[in-house]
Amino acid sequence: MKIITSMNILRQEIQKHKDSVGSIGFVPTMGFLHEGHLTLADEARKQNEVVVMSIFVNPLQFGPDEDFDRYPRDIDRDRELAENAGVDILFIPDAKEMYPDELSVTMTVHKRIDVLCGKKREGHFDGVVTILAKLFHLVQPSRAYFGLKDAQQIAVVEGMVEDYFFPVEIVRVPTVREEDGLAKSSRNVYLSESERKEAPVLYKSLKEAAQMIESGKMSVDAVVIKVRDILQNETSGKVEYVEAYSFPQLSPVDDLTGEVIIAVAVQFEKARLIDNIIILLNEEGKSACLEQ
């Protein structure tokens, strides 16, 4: 595995691979790698000749009251995990490398951000698309891999790629979970012992939502109310939202056809957890498949 910190050296390395091999799979991360990230790398390894992973805690994604300084970091551990996962190139730039000067042109997301986490994270997805645009230009991947746990991010990225004709396929990878169903996340380390026992209720509530929708016995509004009741009664956290939308458009659900996402967010004392489930429904309202 080659570790690169300079974008100029990365460009040179990418050009070598472009000249000699086929596809490049790209896994952008903010580090503190866990099994979710490694699953993305594994999928990239299966589908591409070269796997590139980036580790960069992007300051543009964090608001003034968010946890940029607290965001967990462990570069030495990340390097070892990435190499064991079969990553060929690990790109670890610093902020000065990615943002050498004040931006003269900025990117602003207008759609798919006024719901879910985007409602309270003004500017967050502007930061996401800005850094991804830079990384996509540098890495020139055939495919880029994103976990469905951050479904709103996938929706925004797919919109950016479509709008600006980026020659990259966005690959959705199912959420990686602990044995009890909790979605793996770098922020899980901030849960107290009692909160950790409660946290699997998020996924439990989503599975019940899927069953209720598939049964055809409850409207989406009724399902949302039921999920909120479960979260409020079985966790000590504050329920920030329980919402249902079409996916990836993230628009109100008029009828139960196509992809429908049920998403939740719960704020515990020191950790904010999100989770979702995506149901693919046919024209009769019956589930054709279930994405987790």
Q: Residue 98 is part of a domain; what is its CATH number?
A: 3.40.50.620
Q: What are 170-181's pLDDT values in tens digits?
A: 999 999 999 999
Tell me the pairing of strands 89-91 and 50-55.
Answer: parallel
Claim to verify: residue 116 and residue 226 sit in the same structural domain: no
Q: What are 188-229's pLDDT values in tens digits?
A: 989 999 999 999 999 999 999 998 888 776 788 899 999 999
Claim to verify: residue 54 and residue 158 sit in the same structural domain: yes
Domain boundary pick from 173, 204, 239: 173
**Residue 215: predicted pLDDT:** 79
Name the pLDDT band for 104 (thresholds 50, 70, 90).
very high
Amino acid found at 192: S
Task: Establish whether 114 is an annotated binding residue.
Answer: no
Number of domains in the chain: 2
Domain interval for residue 265: 186-287
Q: What is the mean pLDDT of residues 160-169?
A: 98
Claim to verify: residue 77 and residue 37 sit in the same structural domain: yes
Does 224 map to a domain?
A: yes
Q: Whole-model pTM?
A: 0.91
Please state, for a pLDDT cut of 70, what percent of the chain lies above it: 95
Please answer whether residues 278 and 260 qualify as being in contact, where contact means their C-beta atoms are separated by less than 8 angstroms.
yes
Task: Establish whether 61 is an annotated binding residue.
Answer: yes
Catalytic residue of the set 37, 110, 124, 137: 37
Q: Is 137 known to be catalytic?
A: no
Does 112 map to a domain?
A: yes
58 closest CA partner among 129, 121, 163: 129
The gap between the terminal CA atoms of the chain, to the nearest Å, is 31
Domain boundary pick from 123, 144, 173: 173
Q: What is the mean pLDDT of residues 52-61?
A: 96
